[in-house]
Amino acid sequence: MTVSVRVDKWLWAVRVYKTRTMAKDACTAGRVHVNDTPAKPATKISPGDIVEARRRDRTVIYRVVEAIEKRAPAKLAASYVDDLSPPPRRPGPGDPRAPVAGLREDGAGRPTKRDRRRIDRLRGMRP
């Protein structure tokens, strides 16, 4: 006997959505697919199924490892899914969400006083 659970409960339990209502609304709006088929909130999923969920500007893709109904702690919830999502896309120069100036490398720390002056000059805040 395979264990199956509602997709909206599972999305909430593995912390894809903050509330079960948000998970249900995403299913109703057509933002959730199970095995490339649009899913209603009551769609049953079982281990091995592929679940795609759109969240804001990103699509997450998970393979169900274990079908759970109860919300799990964040560290434990990660063990119930295989994350198949592509890495998030960094905004490029033509993208309206890209920072105007002052793009720094990850882990570079806070800007120094010299860096801050250069950033302000780029933004047109200093002569």
| DSSP type of residue 53 | E
Query: Mean of the pLDDT values across residues 34-41?
Result: 94
pLDDT digit string, tens, across residues 47-77: 999 999 998 778 899 999 999 989 989 889 8
Measure the CA angle with vertex 62, ends 59 and 63; round to 5°: 155
Residue 85, pLDDT > 80, answer yes
Angle CA 45–32–14, to nearest 5: 60
Q: Quick one: what percent of the chain has pLDDT higher than 90?
A: 54
pLDDT at 100 over 80: no
Domains for the chain: give ranges and CATH numbers.
5-83 (3.10.290.10), 90-127 (no CATH)
Per-residue pLDDT at 15 exceeds 80:
yes
Average pLDDT (101-122) is 80
C-alpha span between 69 and 20 (Å, rounded): 11
